[in-house]
Chains A and B, each alone.
Chain A
């Protein structure tokens, strides 16, 4: 029973992923794409979590954390890039 539910969840997540991918490809502006990418990261967290239940292993919990951090860092980086045109500023006076 739980198995079927998990699989249905995965299918739904995959559909969501496809939708996000469509936005990523189409996405009229860059911020659209970045947000799609961020959402994809969150989706990935869910997929990894469900997969680790399905595969009956706790080894992927690290990955869930990592994806969360990376999605955050990536989105921030993109945001900064879009805002300022560069990610890491350096101080000229240094």
Chain B
């Protein structure tokens, strides 16, 4: 366990302490105590920057289950460090924000911070793990803590619905991902991601390659809310706003992005990877930005915009995989896509975090998030307004904010894809820039809605629950910090380029980095009148026009069939699965013992009959059979008649007597076959059990004592005949294929000499195999005690039934 491991585990340890702090230090908001941790972690992880800037990495291993090759391996490289800094940095800001957002007296803070710290630790574990199993463990911990956080206000229906939905979808993806990991580890014979990446070329030709890739992508797409799995994210907006800001914009939903980026060195050579990641991402971007426009809830807009932006990053990662197909560094334009992805990842975390916090402030100060009720808050909340302008304009891709730069790079990468002569892109390549452009237009529109529908327009105080005013300063600190970063990164993007972006990009596409060299990352603010700049101008112009005439065409959304949505599909499939499994279970779990016996015997017949048939196991060999004497024949006839009488008897008493006859005939068989001990026991037991049957007979209730001829059921007859036939066949076959001589010679020789007895059966029972006898005695005692208990113990009706004692 190194310091790095303790850094990952620290949030969990802290989470364990939170309830005590909450209980002891009631005067201080628990958040202040929690705030220390992400700050300390952030600062301590900053010290890794010099290492990763040199494209070096640090690996620390602690044994977990070494016998299975599962170790807790922490691994810091550029990509991990970028995520760690996002997690701890935004984590600190979110904790600070939550101190002012959540009331100390009304909310159960200990739950909130325990869940949040659990989440933070799990997220650190995800991005720092090198072992896929450890990664999966932390991955599921993020799902669980996210589930807990979404349902923080668990007395609300919508919260529970959202939490369940996100849980089902992300855990579904997580399990798929686990499958992918296992397939991958079988292919590469290791759980270490780095070792897997080292053998990427061999893995690429493995027959299981595509399976592993698709399974892992399932995990990434569900977690990062890609189409069609994005549906949980809008419903997760029922969580408290700090949670939405932290989990559902900056960190957890980027876990999928991280996964795709982390596994790029393994999978990215494949054309499937390029197509799946690229097109799913791009389609998600367009689809979600299109849907964001029609939302009326501010957090709804932000949720869809998060989905859309994640799609954008995903498509860039897909496009970046094309970089691996060009070896020379000089003309490798496609690494630009990876750089853009990393850059936009940072940008999105900053502006989306601040936008969520702004939304939280609006909600907090006006009592609503519905944009139809909001308006004209510009003069009332000037700081919040400024912050949202910065965030939203950055999201729309306007200068001088950082979103402008990454949007430019995004458009550039998409334009370049059209020129790529790989993966049949000649025919479909043009689709990429066009879709990207359409998505950007819609992004522009909803960004404008966020700003101008809330802060512009007419003030409607009668629709608001509270009298709006500016938020307390403490609540504004975090969004101000994030917004300053938006501007800072916008104006000085090269602050980041070699410190964070280059190392991260180098981790995603390691194979094209020359030894000891660096990728050329230079983000220039102004790069001439290029295609992408024209596209941005087009986005702004068309966006403004569309926004101006929004009321004219917003009705267009009504033409889309309201029933045919993914949410309805999700609900309907859950409903159908529930009803379906219910009726399926009901159809065969009838509650009648007879049905279950039918299943058991039918299964017995099928399985054994099938095995005998397939294996050709039936043998008939009469060489070692004894001759049949006439008393055997006579006795068999008696046995058959008695058995038949049981079956066809009209009264229960006849059946019981016939059963006794069967038992006595069996004891006669024992006599003929020279088994006196068995015969003795059989006679006594048969007598006792017949007496017991008579006892039951007498106690049968009057009403159900139907002494009619039992209904002859063909099914029963068939199954009975089948079972009899199968058992007979197996008996004959088993007797005909005797492979080894019996061990009875030993007993015959040693019964007297070793055990000192002449009755061999009894010597076997109490001497050679006395152990079985002991437990048969135990069985009898248990049966006797059980019967006694059943008769004496009558607990129902308050013990009044104990009158016989």
List the interface of chain A (C-beta within 8 A of B): 7, 10-11, 14, 17-18, 21, 24-25, 30, 33-34, 37, 40-41, 44, 47-48, 51-52, 55, 57, 59-60, 62-63, 66-67, 70, 73-74, 77-78, 81, 85-87, 90
Contacts and interface: CB of A to CB of B under 8 A. Distances in A.
Given A14-B631, A66-B683, A74-B687, A40 B661 contact: yes
B88 to A, nearest CB: 80
A67 B676 contact: no
A66 to B, nearest CB: 6
B657 A33 contact: yes
Interface string B762-805: 00000000000000000000000000000000000000000010
B657 A60 contact: no
Given A14-B634, A25-B645, A44-B668, A60 B661 contact: no
Contacts of B804: 90
A30 B631 contact: no
B672 A51 contact: yes
A82 B451 CA distance: 97
A77 B676 contact: no
B674 interface: yes
Interface string B232-261: 000000000000000000000000000000
B657 A17 contact: no
B664 interface: yes
B316 to A, nearest CB: 88
Given A21-B661, A24-B661, A33-B657, 7 more contacts: A25-B641, A37-B660, A44-B664, A57-B674, A60-B676, A66-B683, A90-B804
Contacts of B674: 55, 57, 59
A62 B676 CA distance: 8
Interface stretch (B26-34, B399-407, B691-699): B691-699
Nearest to A77: B691
Contact of B683 (A17, A18, A37, A63): A63
A63 B680 CA distance: 6
B642 A63 contact: no
A33 B645 CA distance: 13
Contacts of B660: 37, 74
Point out which of B672, B676, B695 has the most chain A C-beta atoms below 10 A from its C-beta.
Answer: B676
Interface in B614-648: 630-631, 634, 637-638, 641-642, 645
Given A37-B660, A62-B676, A51 B671 contact: yes
Contacts of A62: 676, 680
A91 to B, nearest CB: 11
B396 interface: no
A46 to B, nearest CB: 12
Contacts of A90: 804
Contacts of B642: 21
A25 B640 CA distance: 12
B654 interface: yes
A90 B660 CA distance: 26
A27 B80 CA distance: 91
B676 A87 contact: no
B684 interface: yes
Contacts of B630: 7, 11
B683 A70 contact: yes
16 contacts: A14-B631, A21-B661, A25-B654, A37-B661, A41-B664, A44-B668, A47-B671, A60-B676, A63-B680, A66-B683, A70-B684, A70-B687, A74-B660, A77-B694, A87-B694, A90-B804
